[in-house]
Structures are given as structure tokens and as C-alpha cells.
Amino acid sequence: MPQNPDQPGVLPVVFILGPTAVGKTATGIALAHRIGGEIISIDSRQIYRGLDIGTAKPTLLEQQEIPHHLIDILDLNTTISAGTYREMALKAVAEIRARGHCPIFVGGSGLYVNAIIRGFCELPRVEPQVRRFWRAKLQQEGVVALYNYLLTIDPETAIRLHINDAKRITRALEIFTMTGEPPSQHYARQTKVAPFEYRLFILSAERPQLYERINKRVDAMLRDGLVSEVEQLIAAGYRQQLDALRTLGYQEVIEYLDGKQDLETTRLKIQQNTRNYAKRQLTWFRNQYPEATWIDVTNSPDPATIAANLSVYLTQGIKIN
């Protein structure tokens, strides 16, 4: 339904952010029902077709319940930049508003959030020999070694990237090689004028509960067929050289299928790596978004209750405790 005509003015664009498994999808859907919203995924992997179980993608039923955008629009052998994502996201915002609905961004990709609300600065052109150098280092030493190096020269940039995100890690190192400066210094000079009024809400939970949710989600993914999903992707011709499969959950399953570890070790590694990723997400959100409203869902995890509180804040300006 459209936004309530009794509400004064147009609601700001909403961002529902937070670490993995905290309950963003369910909260976004519940809020969309209350305020007449449509959801725009702000997830760097849900944008790809075929990555369903491992990305906790909204189900087809959930997508039918509330319109979702920027999900399942690219093949796995397609790359996308944050700039391209921003263009698509702003187009979706305009179309949703033209229908009289409220755009609700839901996800946890900090790079995409910044792309939307802060734009970009010009980055240096990378010489071919520099690109070849870092690609060779990636093949020789692996993505973890490159991530650790980036962590020493530019922790601010490293902390916002997933440890398996080979594409963006090598890009950051290329920029450092070309300029002699940490990439974060370039990002700090980018234009920071948002293209629309917005409200950022960050869901969080106490560590024990968040970790329990993560562990249960990983177990559910394996029960629901994560291994079969990866087997199908490999059978379709996709392998580790693709950036989308070098990410959390998929990389560990590929190692299992390659005979490097048993299934129980795979399960534990995915859980541990996901918990570490959630910690990095929370650190990034705290450092990047002082304007955000944080919502502790430890003792009130019901999405409908959270959505009701968000609706009151958005429509009446009453702050959430």
C-alpha cells in the first residue's frame, strides 16, 4: 500500500543495517507492511542469481509478499562496481517513490551503503603491470595474506572488507601502490552529500545471542542444502576464480568438496568465520555512521515489534529507546 496520506510529507529513505543473522530481512518486511514500503537489497552477494542458501536470500514467498529490488539480477560471471550498484539503487528509489511507496534498504554491505549516501571520489588509473603484480601475489600467497597486508597499511579500509573479498582487497592494494597513500585517504575526500533524506537504523544484539543466531543459521543452511547449491554452481562451470564464490560459506564448502576437510570442520569454520565477519561489520557501522539509531534486539527480537517502533519514529519523530 502507498504511504499513509495523513502522514506529513514524504517519509525519508530507510536503511535497516546490522550484522549477519540479526534479523534484518524479517524486520524490513514487517516495516514495509506498516509504512507502505518496498525493499531494496543492499547485499553484495544477493544481487547474483544462484547464491540463495549461502546468502540467506529472502524466499520467493517473502519477495512476493513485499516487492524486492536488486536481487537475482546478475549472473555469477558478471562483475559489478559500487558505482554501478549506486546507479541501480538510485533508479529503484525513484521508481518506488513514483509509486507512492517508501524505499527501504535492507542488508549489511557497508561499501554499498557508503556508495549510496556519500558518493565517490576519483581513484587513480591502475597501470597494467601493477594489476599483474597483485594478481600474481594473490595466486601465490592467497587472499588472507593480502588481507593481512592491507590491514597493516590501511586498517580503516581493511575492516570494512570481507577477508575473502579478493577483488576489493587487491583493488585497495593497487591504489596504495599507485599513490603511496592508504585508500581510506581517498575515500575521506569523496563528496558526502546524500542524494535524499534518509534514516539509518542498525540492529544489534549482545554477543552470546548474536553468535547463537549465527550458529543456528549456519546449521540451517547446511540442512537446507548449501553443499548441493555449491555442487550445482561448480557443475555449471563456476569455480573459485569467481569473486562471488570466494566469500563466506561458499569458500569453505568448496574446500570440503575438494577433500581438504570433513563436513563437521566445514560447519565449524563457517560459523567461526561468520562470527568474525559479524564483529567486523559492527565495528564498521560504529565507526562510519554516527548518525544512525541503534536498536538492541536482544530482549525484543520480534520483527513486528521492532517495525512498530521504527514506524512511530519515522512518522512521529519519537526516538527509540
pLDDT tens string 30-78: 999 999 999 999 998 999 999 999 999 999 999 999 999 999 999 988 8
Residues 6+ apart with CB under 8 A from 249: 54, 55, 218, 221, 226, 270, 274
Ordered by start, the domain boundaries in the chain are 13-120+191-224+282-316, 128-188
For the domain spanning 13-120+191-224+282-316, the CATH number is: 3.40.50.300
| Full-model pTM | 0.78
What is the bridge-based pairing of β-strands 198-204 and 37-42? Answer: unpaired
Vertex 73: Cα angle to 69 and 74 (nearest 5): 145
Closest CA to 296 of 3, 104, 22, 10: 22
Residues 6+ apart with CB under 8 A from 253: 54, 226, 227, 230, 266, 270
266, with CB counted inside 10 A (0-12, 13-18, 19+), is buried
Q: What distances in angstroms separate CA 227 from CA 97, 224, 231, 263, one per listed residue? A: 40, 9, 6, 9
The answer as to CATH 1.10.20.140 being correct for domain 128-188 is yes
**Helix 263-288 and helix 250-257, axial crossing angle in degrees, nearest 10:** 160
Which amino acid is residue 250, in one-letter code?
A: Y
What pLDDT, on the 0 to 100 scale, is given for residue 6? 36
What pLDDT, on the 0 to 100 scale, is given for residue 316? 78
> Facing residues of 204 across strands?
296
b/e burial code for range 32-57 (CB count within 10 A of at least 16 → b): bebbbbbbbbbbbbbbbebbbbbbbb
Q: What distances in angstroms separate CA 94 from CA 39, 87, 106, 270, one per listed residue? A: 13, 11, 17, 38
Low-confidence residues of the chain: pLDDT under 50:
1, 4-8
User: Can 13-120+191-224+282-316 and 128-188 be said to share one CATH topology?
Assistant: no
